[in-house]
Amino acid sequence: MSRLPLGKAILWNLAVIAFLPLFFLAALVPSRKRKSLVWGSMPLISNKYWSKAMQQAGYASVTVMQNHFPINERSDFDLYFEDFAPAFLPAKARFGLGGCIALCWVLRNARVVHISFLGFALDATLCWRLESWLFRRAGVRVVVMPFGGDFYIYSRIVDTSLRYGLLASYPDLALREGRTTKRVDHWSRRADAVVAGMMIDGLGRWDVTLNQFFVVDTDAWTAKPRYSAHDGRTGPVRVLHTPNHRGFKGTETRSILKGTFRSASSASNAPRESRRTSSE
């Protein structure tokens, strides 16, 4: 959750303060319902696939999100903050009230909660540190799985090319480095597990070593059965590049394509085609 304008921030903090007794009750009163795996609340599509995979493995698993990105569908996730609030309230009120109720629901029903370094519902409030205490008192295990914008502290990044890519696509994060640092340090100390994939610059711990943990649905995405044998000499080569952030996602496409085609131009006059799309 990003920073809110001052007026909204004050109202949001007041609402959270009003809910503090309910948070404490939800965490401290024993519950037999704490059996679900919960994924939230940053609406990354990989959460959908993780939850689906765990359901197929026989676990009770549910996604609870703040909202959804325009490139996804509302049906991609199970529940949203606003679903926990009365439908007759204005949208902003449903979001705020629903976020507080959703946190209470997680404290009563979750066995494990999977979050980013932004926490679950209170990141934009002065009480954001309280979430880790509530989860621990409720006996809810916390797995932190960063997505990038919640994690990268630019001054801690060793590879300058990686730092350049982030600055090219996310310059505003450099101005919020202090805020990010506090959250990364806090959840690194208090999470039960940190699964970071390749995002380890400046991270004091990670508990599972793997290349990456973002997943796709292999039932929906299948590999092509046949590929062209063209190599630029025998026929056209088509290059498709679909970055959502061209600076950070590994290629500044025009430069790479120009360099690739220039190096092959002396060997053949075969036609070459390129396409570039972006979900930005």
> What would the pLDDT profile of 21-41 be if each residue is shown by its tens digit?
999 999 999 999 999 999 999
pLDDT more than 70, % of the chain: 87
Q: Is it the case that residue 277 has pLDDT exceeding 60?
A: no
pLDDT of residue 172: 93
Band of residue 178 on the pLDDT scale cut at 50, 70, 90: very high
| Alpha helices in 69-175, H assignment, sequence order | 91-109, 130-138, 160-169, 171-175
Distance between CA 21 and CA 227 in Å, rounded?
Answer: 61
Q: Which two tokens stand for residue 275?
A: 């396409």
Q: What is the CA radius of gyration of the chain?
A: 22
Distance of alpha carbon 6 from alpha carbon 209, whole angstroms: 40
> Higher-confidence residue: 197 or 27?
27
Residue pair 61/55 in contact (Cβ under 8 Å)? The answer is yes
Looking at the predicted structure, is the pLDDT value of residue 109 above 80? yes
Pairing of the two strands 79-80 and 110-115: unpaired
Give the Cβ contact number of residue 135 at 10 Å. Answer: 25
| Average pLDDT over every residue of 112-140 | 97
Instruction: Give pLDDT, residue 219.
Output: 82
In whole angstroms, give the CA distance from residue 218 to residue 220: 5
pTM, full prediction = 0.85
Under DSSP, is residue 196 helix (H, G, I), strand (E, B) or coil?
Answer: coil
Cis peptide before 41 (omega within 30 of 0): yes
Residue 273 has pLDDT above 70, yes or no: no
CATH 3.40.50 domain locations along the chain: 6-194
Q: What is the pLDDT of residues 204-236, one digit of tens each?
A: 899 998 888 888 888 888 878 888 888 888 988
- Between helices 91-109 and 6-28, what is the axis angle to 10°? 20
Better pLDDT: 245 or 56: 56
* Size of the chain, expressed as the number of residues it contains: 280
Distance, CA of 117 to CA of 1 (rounded, Å): 11
Query: Residue range 12-20: average pLDDT?
Result: 93
Q: Which candidate, 129, 103, 116, 99, places its Cα nearest to that of 8? A: 99
End-to-end distance of the chain based on CA atoms, in angstroms? 19
SS3 79: strand
pLDDT in tens, 257-267: 555 555 555 54
- Cα(156)–Cα(191) distance, rounded to whole angstroms? 21
Better-scored residue on pLDDT, 230 or 80 = 80
**Residue 5 to residues 9, 10, 119, 170: CA-CA distances in angstroms?**
6, 9, 20, 20
Residue 240 has pLDDT above 70, yes or no: yes
pLDDT at 271: 52
| 181 vs 199: CA distance, rounded Å | 14
**Which H or E element spans position 37?**
strand 36-39
Mean residue pLDDT of the chain comes to 87
Q: According to the model, what pLDDT value does residue 104 have?
A: 98
Looking at residue 1, the DSSP 8-state letter turns out to be -
Residue 173 scores a pLDDT above 70: yes
pLDDT at 3 over 80: no
Task: Give the mean pLDDT of 151-172.
Answer: 91
Give me the CATH topology for the region 6-194. Answer: Rossmann fold (3.40.50)
Query: What pLDDT shows up at residue 280?
Result: 40
What span, in angstroms and rounded, lies between the C-alpha atoms of 140 and 98?
A: 20
Average pLDDT over residues 133-158: 96
